[in-house]
Amino acid sequence: MVPCLAHAAQAPNVRALTVNDEAIEGTLVSLDATPTVELLVKAERRKIPCADLLALELRQGKPVPGATDAALVLRNGDCLRGSIQGGSGRAVTLRSPAFGSAECPIQAIARIELPGPQPAQPLPPAEKLDKLLLRNNETIEGTLESLDAKGVKFRSALLGDLEVTFDRLSAIAFAAQAGAPPKPPEGILAIAQGDEGSVLSGQLKGLKDGAVELQAAFGPLLSLPLARLLAIEFRGGRLVYLSDLTPAEAKETPFFDIVWGYRRDRSVDGNPLRLGGTAYRKGLGCHSRCELTYALGGAYRRFLADAGIDEEVGDKGNVDIAVLVDGKPKFERKALTGRDAPLPLSLDLTGATRLTLLVDFGADFDICDHLDWANARLIR
């Protein structure tokens, strides 16, 4: 058990958002590894299990990445921002104002984005070989041999052994077979959002000296100063994301002959989900015609999501969408296009056994029908 904050003056005012759509404002007194949040609400202490929380909002505002920061995008969706201090063929050492210095195994990394202008189109995921994206937009495939504070040593079947400095690189993508994403920790998963853009998931260990202690999913125990955190989200309690579940049935029907497979936590083009200027960490990317059905077993009471055409296709796309509960439509929208604002959905599931998300062809055949069910989630 972690002791309470020593001085009330040091304790921040926060807002706890519960799965019951309740917003509780108060002063943060403690966090413990149960995990539980304790707040001082109108002179009374209130303990809230993190299993009952969507998020703990610590500060208002949006993350502002440093202009000279690199980004390590992990296979589990985490993002570590900071300056690369060194590395090897096995790990990268990063220093961040949000969590200090940490060593991240390369097998946990999907890609590294270097400081400076990024290309209009992100570097595609690597499958069999690592990839280097140069500043001139050329791509080199091969194997990353090692990495240090200045650049990488890279072996290419076509070009031989190369030494490439970071100032010549836009990004590095690591081959998929280089390593599976780390297994998520058991119990309640905490996802901390830093004000410089880092997103770190793991298990809460407590609160010490004004910092949140987090056992990171990629390995080390991190100390995250409260002053550098915007929010902590929670998963694994009463909230379940659809992208963490496997559909009981998936029907994907092409308009002509190309089947666009649905994606978890990505758009159908493999990019981060984006609707209305907002990037979403969780959700489903689908293409017409796609019908996903989930078995609920009567265990959930509500479905929530933001539905819209992903920004990767601009104002294009035209789909008919529907949400069916036990085979009966609970929500329908015709002719949803890229010009429309995202649609917030909140549907009752009490006693329901099946949930179906349908994306159907609209007026423009299947052209640019990149529909996102962003933040699609179930509440127990």
Q: Which domain holds residue 84?
A: 70-178
CATH number, domain of 264, equals 2.60.120.1060
**Per the structure, how many domains does the chain have?**
2
Residue 321 lies in a domain: yes
Residue 33 lies in a domain: no
Residues 261, 358, single domain; the answer is yes
Residues 264, 367, single domain; the answer is yes
**Residue ending a domain, choose from 178, 200, 230:** 178
Residue 374 lies in a domain: yes
Per-residue pLDDT of the chain (380 residues; tens, 9 = 90+): 334 433 344 678 999 999 877 899 999 999 999 999 999 999 999 999 999 998 999 998 888 989 999 999 998 889 999 999 999 889 999 999 889 999 999 989 989 999 987 666 666 666 789 999 999 989 999 999 999 999 999 999 999 999 999 999 999 999 876 445 456 567 899 999 999 999 999 999 999 999 999 999 999 999 999 999 999 999 888 888 999 999 999 999 988 878 889 999 999 988 889 999 888 889 999 999 999 999 999 999 999 999 999 999 999 999 999 999 999 999 999 999 999 999 999 999 999 999 999 999 998 888 899 999 999 999 98
Residue 232 lies in a domain: no
Residue 299 lies in a domain: yes
Contacting residues for 310 by C-beta, under 8 A, at least 6 apart = 267, 268, 269, 271, 273, 274, 275, 285, 370, 371, 372
**Residue ending a domain, choose from 178, 193, 223:** 178
**What pLDDT, on the 0 to 100 scale, is given for residue 2?**
38
Residue 246 lies in a domain: yes
**Residue ending a domain, choose from 124, 150, 178:** 178
**What pLDDT, on the 0 to 100 scale, is given for residue 365?**
87
